[in-house]
Chain A
Amino acid sequence: MRTRLVYFFFFLVCFQARSQVNSEFVDYLVISELNKEHKTYLDQLTLDFGETDSVRYYKTKFDLLTNNYDSFQNEFNSCKLCWKDTSLINYSSIHLIRFSIERANKFWKADSTYGSFVSKNSILRKSYNLSLNPKLDDSFLPYELKFHFQEYKSAYNKKAWVAGLLSAAIPASGKLYIGRGNSFFGAFALNVVHGIILYEAINRKGIEHPYTIVSAGFFGVFYFSNIFGTIHDLKRVKNERRKHFLYEVADYQSADLYLYE
């Protein structure tokens, strides 16, 4: 009996009966922006208790808090508790998509591998799929996001060859087609001005004069760059609208979602 009692005290002293993570203290560290103390605390817990799932859960959150995405992904993949926390998964998706759409996609793939793929039902994930193929059903989108989706969809449906053809017919008109009204006037004026110079040079000096050839070269550069520039710009417009749409969805979904309660 005595020996058992001594054993009991022995274990009580050696493995102090502390709960692993004091979540209130962690919240306090987050609110006070004490990241170094926060890190030390989690490292100390790892030293004391080893890489337990609950410690890993808090480490994952910490990585997300400090935007340490590489470490975050590694921790998350090996943290069973994390994959069970739907709000953490949703919060992480929102956070990651703002950093990089590709990284968010990687995270969702990991969810389907390691987790129970809860993210597949989130609006953000569905919107991501929709952004890849706007012909899919968009009825899941709430009214507030429909407008942004339509904006993206209209850009997505625009054809590069139409934009190029329009710019070839009337310089810079392709810019209007792709929705870059602001840069239309500048590009149009530049082409007109060089056209005037070329016309004047041909009229006064003839087509074989070096000045005419130089003017024709300048005009050609501006004319063709206007066509190829418009085609290239369309890609940018599509990308921008896609990002804008997904960011709006992320904002919508982030309401009432916090990393720490």
Chain B
Amino acid sequence: MKSLIISLLICICTSSAFGQAGYEASMLELEQKIFSEENDSLRNELCLKKFNLSLMNFDARRSFFEMKRVNDNLISNISQKNNFLWNASLVSKLNGDFEYANIYFDQYLEATNDSNTNCLILGFLIKNENDTSILNAFERQIPQDSSLACLNCLNAVKGFKMKRKGAYVKVSYLFPGLGTMMTGDFYNGIGSILTVSGSGVGMYYLISNNMYYGSAIWGYLLFWRFYTGNVRLAKTKVNNLEQKKKALLADDCQQQIKALLKNNQIDFRLNK
């Protein structure tokens, strides 16, 4: 009898020990509670718990999914609600959904009037990915802060356009291959020169030998394609060059922002 009671106790204890399973088991447990809960507020509270649990486990994708299930209007605790709005904007940003991020951030700002540097940085980073007018409106709204001056590089990256882009293309119309060479792609430039001039010479040879049909057909099939292809190639190369320069600028900006974030860390705000 004694041993039976002991084994019963062991069973109960080991069961609860196994109950402390991992993150997935906890998520499932919460979902089961959500499923059986009929009260909307309590259900929302459980959804919020699930959202916070996914945040604690750095499961950004899942957090984004869980975030959408939480109704912030049903969160009665002000501090919990503000934390949720902050986390939601951060999670949306991390998942690349800047529209959601902007909506949640605006709600957060409206509710808290937070003017901390890390809040302003997050605002900059979110609004920069939205329309320029949204970013400008945000800049007018916030107090002037010299420590945030480096964030202007975001504007510079966004508005970056290579100068005299059209010149490369125009040059390609006049001297096939030259525009491509000017972008730094020497070999493709040489290729364009050879193909366009080669097919041009071929056409000339056919005309001079009174083979007008052959000249017209080869001219259309080869010369025209090589010529227009050379212009298209120059356009593509210029765009690539522009992207490359923009990427360098963005990288430089990223470094500045990283340095700024080192001193003003942006993190999730989890309720104790």
Binding site for B on A (CB under 8 A): 3, 6-7, 9-10, 13-14, 25, 28-29, 34, 36-37, 40-41, 44, 193, 196-197, 200-201, 204-205, 215
Within the assembled complex, what's the spacing in Å between the Cα atoms of A6 and B5? 9
Within the assembled complex, what's the spacing in Å between the Cα atoms of A221 and B25? 65
Known: A10-B8, A36-B27, A40-B24. A204 touches B209 (CB 8 A): yes
Known: A6-B1, A13-B8, A197-B217. A204 touches B28 (CB 8 A): no
A14 touches B11 (CB 8 A): yes
A13 touches B11 (CB 8 A): yes
Within the assembled complex, what's the spacing in Å between the Cα atoms of A9 and B24? 30
Instruction: Report chain A residues within 8 Å CB of B5.
Output: 6
Nearest-Cβ distance from residue A89 to partner chain B, whole angstroms:
29
Within the assembled complex, what's the spacing in Å between the Cα atoms of A238 and B145? 70
With beta carbons under 8 angstroms apart, the residue of B1, B7, B12, B214 that contacts A200 is B214
Instruction: Report chain A residues within 8 Å CB of B35.
Output: 25, 28
Within the assembled complex, what's the spacing in Å between the Cα atoms of A197 and B219? 12
Within the assembled complex, what's the spacing in Å between the Cα atoms of A206 and B202? 18
25 example contacts (A-B, Cβ-Cβ < 8 A) are as follows A6-B1, A7-B4, A10-B7, A10-B11, A13-B8, A13-B11, A25-B32, A25-B35, A29-B31, A36-B27, A37-B27, A37-B28, A40-B24, A40-B25, A40-B28, A44-B28, A193-B217, A196-B213, A197-B213, A200-B211, A201-B211, A204-B209, A204-B211, A205-B209, A205-B211
Nearest-Cβ distance from residue B32 to partner chain A, whole angstroms:
7
A41 touches B28 (CB 8 A): yes
Within the assembled complex, what's the spacing in Å between the Cα atoms of A3 and B8? 13
Within the assembled complex, what's the spacing in Å between the Cα atoms of A29 and B24? 14
A196 touches B217 (CB 8 A): yes
With beta carbons under 8 angstroms apart, the residue of B12, B31, B213 that contacts A34 is B31
Within the assembled complex, what's the spacing in Å between the Cα atoms of A116 and B76? 58
Nearest-Cβ distance from residue B216 to partner chain A, whole angstroms:
10
Nearest-Cβ distance from residue A198 to partner chain B, whole angstroms:
9
Within the assembled complex, what's the spacing in Å between the Cα atoms of A65 and B1? 50
Within the assembled complex, what's the spacing in Å between the Cα atoms of A91 and B62? 30
Given contacts A28-B35, A34-B31, 4 further A-B contacts (CB under 8 A): A196-B213, A196-B214, A200-B211, A200-B213
Residue B218 at the A interface, CB < 8 A?
yes
Report B6-29 residues with CB < 8 Å from chain A CB. Answer: 7-8, 11-12, 24-25, 27-28
Instruction: Report chain A residues within 8 Å CB of B8.
Output: 9-10, 13-14
Which 5 A/B pairs are nearest by Cβ-Cβ distance?
A40-B24, A40-B28, A37-B31, A197-B214, A200-B213
Residue B147 at the A interface, CB < 8 A?
no
Within the assembled complex, what's the spacing in Å between the Cα atoms of A19 and B50? 25
Residue B210 at the A interface, CB < 8 A?
yes
Q: Which chain B residue shows the least CB distance to A34?
A: B31
Nearest-Cβ distance from residue B118 to partner chain A, whole angstroms:
31
Which of B7, B28, B209, B221 is packed against the most chain A CB atoms within 10 Å? B28
B4 touches A6 (CB 8 A): yes
Instruction: Report chain A residues within 8 Å CB of B218.
Output: 197
Mark interface residues in B206-249 (1 if CB within 8 Å of A CB, else 0).
00011101100110010000000000000000000000000000
